[in-house]
Amino acid sequence: MKIRSLVWKEIRQRPAPSLAALLAVALGVSALVCVQSIADSSAQQVARQMSELGANILVLPKSANLQDYYAADLHGETLPEEYVTSIILAQAVGVEEMAPKLCLQTTIQETPITLTGILPRSEFFKKSSWQSVDLMFQEMEAGALGSQHENCTGRTCQLTDESMKDLKSYSKTRVVHDLAPYDALIGADVAQKLQLTEESEFQLLGDTFRVAAVLPASGTIDDQRVFAHLHTVQDLSEQGPVVNVIEVMGCCEDVTAGLVSELEDLLPEARVITISQLVEAQVGMNRLMSRLSYLLFAILMLVGGASIASVMFANVSERRRELGTLMALGATPRYLQRLVLMKAAMIGIGGGLTGMIAGGVLAIVVGPSIVDVPLSISIPAIGWGLIISFLIAMIFSYLPARKAAHLDPSVCFQDV
Amino acid sequence: MLELIEVSKQYSRRNQPVDALRSTSLKVDTGKFIAIVGPSGSGKTTLLSILGGMLAPSSGEVKLLGESLYQLDSSVRAKFRNEKIGFVFQNFNLVPWLTALENVQLPLSIFGSEADVQQSRAMELLERFQLTDRADHKPSELSAGQQQRVALARTLITTPKLILADEPTGNLDPEAKQLVLETLVNCREKSGQTVILVTHDHSIASSADRVMTMKEGILSETSSSILSVVAAG
């Protein structure tokens, strides 16, 4: 019979106090794993989106209140569509693409959706005012709307015409080449709920639309959108030639700063912000969540540690005669110390593992509803949680272990 | 075998010194059966604790098998106790969440003997005490007599040179009491083990080679014939 077997049998004999201490530790670790997993996944998602979206700039109404990038057009305020023309005519250095959007909250078969008007790239060519600029036209043929800047290492070369013709790539490129007036791109969630497939038709605000493509799931608000031609949506909304946002895609980060000030000068009535500014709020929130989780973890681990200390002190007092008997049978003070510390270690590690599982499950179940991204469990949080729960158990049971080691062994002769 | 030289033990109770054991000397030869009698609080248990290497005396020396017990390092003393000294308690002191077999194994497992050695030796002893069918029972599932037999088996598993018994028959019926006594007498007669027994029961004490009386911390020799008369009376 090994010492760990002796400890395990004792825990099984009286599980309630050990369970209480274990739960306190588990709470701390689960809070850390859950919040850190959510914060990490959110940060990873932001980083992924940033790398996919490149050097994007948003042109918004001055009063627009932003929550996140994907909901940037859901503020209800509008800008004149003419601003798109103004940007094109300015031939700003590094402007690669533009995507004006107008949103309309409506329903299809009683399912609420966001109808989003987008302007296909081919529409830029139809604007006579734009075509009058010969230089601009040549640039567009080459694949960019503005002037290219020297030594560009950005995404100009990545966006080929082929990728823009593939409608399904819209969720990544934010640009479509062609879109017929009553064609629609359907977000993954909407398609699933309404059982819409490519080429199927549906009624929207009295008109019949054809599904041109079902977009792959992105884990963003785009999954609940229906994208249609901007001018069709403008007609349906009866708001005239307006948009909620103009996304300007710069060729690389190098041009962003200059482009923002150029656009601010060009459109003084609008608010021009970069994606990085926008995500800063999200990153700040992640950082805050992360710090709060460490604070919560620290508090709960202290509570857990105090609980372990209390359980172990009570345990040593209750087991005085048993420990004295072990001494009479030849146990050294070190053996008794190990007996107490091993029990605490089992509680600490058990609490850590329980917290890891509970935190992981909680993150996977609750996480997506908080941050709207698919969750992955934070491995560093699990590692730290397990290490610290073990250390806390050891530190807080040191005094009870010392008490056990210094027991007067003659208690085994007495009625205690 | 065992020698106490001018051993005394003082406790402090409410800041007042209490003499639990006063300048006691004793010499016990190998294979002897010593009974110590005396009223409660006279210092019998203190003496037993000191003899067992569990309570350092305030002064004096305790020699066991040639070793000065309290000059040994505490870990060495613990190992010495494990190998050379066996205890039998009035309340059996079995570990409640271990089975009879595991309780008997305990002294061997403390110093990390091989598991199969522990188990086979423990089963042998349980068989000797007719407890084979109770090997998997917890102490709460055993009678007082069976518990004391398990405790005796636990004591004997290391074949100690010295057995210290503190009122081992105090909680037992006459039949179980007789079995315990026979076991201890056998230890002396067949294995040459030295037995020191603390008891209130004069009939038990009368079986000893020497009877000593403890009174107010002073140990003195008593004639066993007197005890026989007392026991018979």
pLDDT digits (tens, 9 = 90+) for A18-31: 898 899 889 889 98
Query: In the predicted model, what is the mean pLDDT of residues A386-414?
Result: 87
Could you tell me if A245 and A99 lie in one domain?
yes
Which is nearest to A121 in space by CA: A85, A103, A145? A145
Cβ separation A332–B74 shorter than 8 A: yes
Angstrom distance (rounded) from CA A358 to CA A365: 10
| pLDDT at site A338 | 93
Q: Does the residue A57 lie in any domain?
A: no
Residue A310 Cα, gap to closest chain B Cα (Å) = 22
Residue A52 included in any domain: no
CB B42 within 8 A of CB B214: yes
Q: Quote the CA–CA distance of A185 and A178 in Å, as a whole number.
A: 12
Contacts of A414 in chain B (CB under 8 A): 45
My answer on whether A165 and A75 are in the same domain is yes
Same domain flag for A297 and A408: yes
Task: Decide if B11 touches A, using CB distance below 8 A.
Answer: no
Let me know whether A32 and A78 are in one domain: no
pLDDT of amino acid A209: 93
What is the number of domains present in chain A? Answer: 2
Q: Would you say residue A101 lies in a domain?
A: yes
For tokens 């409506």, the residue is A106
Pair of tokens at residue A11:
């825990």
- Residue A390: is its pLDDT beyond 70? yes
- The answer to whether residue A209 sits within a structural domain is yes
Tell me what pLDDT residue A124 has: 63
For residue B117, give the amino acid letter.
V
- Which residues of chain A neighbour B90 with C-beta distances below 8 Å? 413
**Long-range own/partner contacts, residues A49-52 (CB < 8 A, 24 or more apart):** A49/A220, A49/A279, A50/A275, A50/A276, A50/A279, A52/A172
> Hey, which residues 37-66 in chain B have their CB within 8 Å of chain A?
45-46, 48-49, 52, 54-55
C-alpha radius of gyration, chain B, whole number: 18
pLDDT on residue A46: 72
- Determine the pLDDT at residue B54: 87
> Which residue among A268, A292, A313 closes a domain?
A268
Question: A11 CA to chain B: closest CA distance, Å?
Answer: 9
**B173: nearest Cα among B165, B161, B181:** B181
Chain A residues whose beta carbon lies within 8 Å of the beta carbon of residue B70: none
pLDDT at A127 over 50: no
Burial class for A49, CB neighbours closer than 10 Å (0-12, 13-18, 19+) = buried
Q: Residue A372 is encoded by which pair of tokens?
A: 């709207």
Closest Cα in chain B, distance from residue A386 (Å): 29
Percent of chain A predicted with pLDDT > 90? 25
In angstroms, the CA A124 to CA A139 distance is 12
Residues A167 and A85 in one domain: yes
On chain B, the residues whose CB falls within 8 A of the CB of A406 are: none
Does the residue A277 lie in any domain? Answer: no
Q: Measure in Å the smallest separation between the Cα of A413 and chain B Cα atoms.
A: 7
CA dihedral B45, B49, B55, B61 (to 10 degrees): 110
Q: Are A200 and A300 contained in the same domain?
A: no
A9 and A274 in contact (C-beta within 8 Å)? Answer: no
- By the CB < 8 Å criterion, does B139 face chain A? no
Q: Which of A292, A376, A282 is nearest to A32 (CA)?
A: A292
Of the ranges A124-138, A190-204, A289-303, B130-144, which one carries the lowest mean pLDDT score? A124-138
Chain A residues within an 8 Å CB radius of B75: 332-334
Q: In whole angstroms, what is the distance from residue A111 CA to residue A117 CA?
A: 18
Band of residue A135 on the pLDDT scale cut at 50, 70, 90: very low
- For chain A, list residues whose CB is within 8 angstroms of any CB belonging to chain B: 1-3, 6, 9-10, 12-14, 321-322, 324-335, 408-410, 412-415
Same-domain pairing of A347 and A199: no
Task: Considering only the beta carbons, identify the residue of A3, A328, A330 that sits closest to B79.
Answer: A330
Same domain, residue pair A79 and A212: yes
DSSP A194-230: HT--TT-EEEETTEEEEEEEEPPP-SSGGGGEEEEEH
Reported confidence tier of residue A50, pLDDT bands at 50, 70, 90: low
How does B124-142 read in b/e, with b if 16+ C-beta sit within 10 Å?
ebbeebebeebbebbbeeb
* Contact (CB<8Å) A327/B48: no
Q: What pLDDT sits at residue A218? A: 77
Parent domain of A391: 3-47+283-413
Residue A137 corresponds to which amino acid?
F
Q: Among B81, B107, B166, whose Cβ lies nearest the Cβ of A413?
A: B166
Q: For A132-149, what is the mean pLDDT? A: 49
B171 touching chain A per CB within 8 A: no
Best A323, A329, A337 residue to mutate vs chain B (most B CBs within 10 Å): A329
Residue A49's pLDDT band (cuts 50, 70, 90): low
Q: Which of B165, B10, B153 is nearest to B87 (CA)?
A: B165
Q: What is the pLDDT of residue A301?
A: 87
Q: Of B194, B219, B106, B116, which Cα lies nearest the Cα of B157?
A: B106
Beta strands, E only, A41-110: 55-61, 79-80, 95-108
Residues B204, B208, B213, B219: is their CA dihedral positive or negative?
negative
Quick check: B81 and A330 CB within 8 A?
A: yes
CA nearest neighbour of A251 among A171, A167, A155? A155
Tens digit of pLDDT at every position of chain B (233 positions): 889 999 999 988 788 888 889 988 999 989 899 999 988 888 888 898 899 988 899 999 999 998 898 999 888 998 899 999 999 888 888 999 899 999 999 999 988 788 888 899 999 999 988 899 999 999 999 998 899 999 999 999 999 999 999 888 887 888 888 888 888 888 888 888 999 999 888 888 888 889 999 888 888 888 655 555 555 54
Average pLDDT over residues A251-279: 79
Give the per-residue pLDDT at B233. Answer: 47
With CB atoms and an 8 Å threshold, state whether B110 touches A331: yes
Tell if the CB–CB gap between A1 and B118 is shorter than 8 Å. Answer: yes
CB contact under 8 A, A321 and B93: yes
Q: Is residue A275 part of a domain?
A: no
Where do we find the tokens 């993150």? A363
pLDDT surpassing 50 at residue A158 = no
**Residue whose token pair is 């009295």:** A206
The domain boundary residue, chosen from A268, A302, A318: A268
Smallest CA–CA distance from A319 into chain B, residue: B95
Q: What pLDDT, on a 0 to 100 scale, did the predictor assign at position A292?
A: 83
Q: Tell if the CB–CB gap between A409 and B82 is shorter than 8 Å.
A: no
Would A273 be classed as within a structural domain? no
pLDDT tens, A55-101? 578 888 888 766 656 666 777 889 999 998 888 888 777 777 788 89
Which of A208, A238, A268 terminates a domain? The answer is: A268
Of A152-166, A189-203, A321-335, the poorest mean pLDDT is in A152-166
For position A159, what pLDDT does the model report? 45
Residues A226 and A299 in one domain: no
Cβ of B45 within 8 Å of Cβ of A413? The answer is yes
- Do A132 and A230 lie in a common domain? yes
- For chain A, what percentages of helix, strand and coil (3-state, to nearest 5) are there? 60, 15, 25
Would you say residue A142 lies in a domain? yes
| A41 shares its domain with A87 | no
Q: Output the average pLDDT for chain A.
A: 81
Distance from CA of B46 to the nearest CA of A (A): 8
Residue B10 in contact with partner chain A when CB distance is under 8 A: no
Determine the Cα–Cα distance for residues B164 and B1; give it in Å rounded to an integer: 14
* Domains of chain B, first to last: 2-232 (3.40.50.300)
pLDDT exceeds cutoff 50 at A156: no
CB contact under 8 A, A330 and B82: yes
Residue whose entry in the numeric block shows the structure tokens 């002396």:
B188
Measure CA B222 to chain center: 20
Amino acid, single-letter form, for residue A203: Q
Q: What is the largest CA-CA distance in chain A?
A: 108
Residues A260 and A392 reside in one and the same domain: no
List CB contacts (< 8 A) between A331 and chain B: 78, 82, 110
For residues A278-285, average pLDDT:
72
- Cα–Cα distance, A87 to A286 (Å, whole number): 34
Residue A376's H or E segment, with its range, is none
